[in-house]
Amino acid sequence: MNWLRSVIYQPQINWILRNVCKLFSVLIPEHLKLHPSGSIKVRIGGSSSFMLKTNPTSYITRQIFWNGPMAFEYTPIFKDLINKVDTFWDIGANIGYYSVLGSTVNPQLKVRAFEPSEGPKKYLEENIRLNGLSGQIQLEPIALSNFKGEIEFHQIVNPKFPSMPNLSGEHNMGTKKNLPASKVQVKTFPLDDYVPSQEKIDLIKIDTEGAEVEILKGSIRTITAHQPIIIVETLFNKNEAAIEAILKDLGYAFYNHTQKGLQKTETLIRSEDDGVRDCFCVTPSKKSLIEEFVVN
């Protein structure tokens, strides 16, 4: 099986196999759809496109390749919203999908992409270079939290591809205890201590496998001063109440991302898992930027 995987995921062979299979995608069961290896071209409408270097451990590029970027998470909203802002802080950037997408759509955008995991960080750096975006995207190889120092960081190992950098996005600060991992020390800072004095923040994305609350706790001064739109991953029965408590006190309203668009909700706390994974948190001063995406 390992020999077969090494052949299938050799980039040139994988390119041929995955593109031939895509011609018959409606006939192929979901579990047999190949993960891309090497690089993929992401087309985002008109003549706009960018490249993503990847390997078969990436969930992101598998979904984008087979279903297209407009079916991935909140891409359609993000693509339009990013043209309305000047700065974007991508916390938990992984291989850089949203950083590269935003910089491609908005050539004036300035991005800080935070990624402490060794594998994703390497691919993020390569994707910045591959798309000629070093002037727009600044890679920040640290973890944000609510204190300055170091933390034990869990880099998850994919048992099917143990020798490959794992791009799954499951790397965490000890919030996922039961996954095979190597543990390393990484530097951590509060966002409040990391913002350059003259830099503004318009939009923040936080997707950090359970560390969202600690990051928000370390960002109170910055959030109060800049009132950025915050796209945060909400995990059912885990972080919703704490996220709501922090941001509601700062004047934020909540808009859950659904397949139909953004739906306003009075509370993030749910009695059952309805499948929502991302919430757009918005102050009155930024509400006009997201009104076109809101549905009843």
Contacts of 33 (CB under 8 A, 6+ apart): 21, 25, 62, 66
Do residues 139 and 191 both lie within one domain? yes
Residue 26 belongs to domain spanning: 1-34
Do residues 115 and 18 both lie within one domain? no
- Tens of pLDDT, residue by residue over 20-30, are 999 999 999 99
Do residues 96 and 75 both lie within one domain? yes
Do residues 51 and 129 both lie within one domain? yes
- Round to whole Å and give the CA distance between 41 and 101: 12
Do residues 83 and 207 both lie within one domain? yes
**pLDDT score at 44:** 92
Q: What value does the CA radius of gyration of the chain take, rounded to a whole number of Å?
A: 19
DSSP state of 94: T
Number of domains in the chain: 2
Do residues 20 and 55 both lie within one domain? no
| Inter-helix orientation angle 97-105/118-130, to 10° | 20
Do residues 13 and 70 both lie within one domain? no
- Round to whole Å and give the CA distance between 199 and 251: 22
Do residues 18 and 102 both lie within one domain? no
Do residues 4 and 54 both lie within one domain? no
Do residues 81 and 20 both lie within one domain? no
Can you give the CATH number for the domain in which 131 is found? 3.40.50.150
**pLDDT score at 171:** 66
Handedness of CA 209, 258, 280, 66 (dihedral sign): positive
- Three-state SS for 89? strand
- Round to whole Å and give the CA distance between 206 and 277: 12
**pLDDT score at 39:** 97
- Round to whole Å and give the CA distance between 250 and 154: 31
**pLDDT score at 196:** 86
- Three-state SS for 271? coil
Pick out the chain residues at pLDDT < 50.
Answer: none
Token pair recorded at residue 59 = 């969930």
Do residues 13 and 119 both lie within one domain? no
Do residues 115 and 226 both lie within one domain? yes
The three-point CA angle 287-290-293 to 5° equals 140
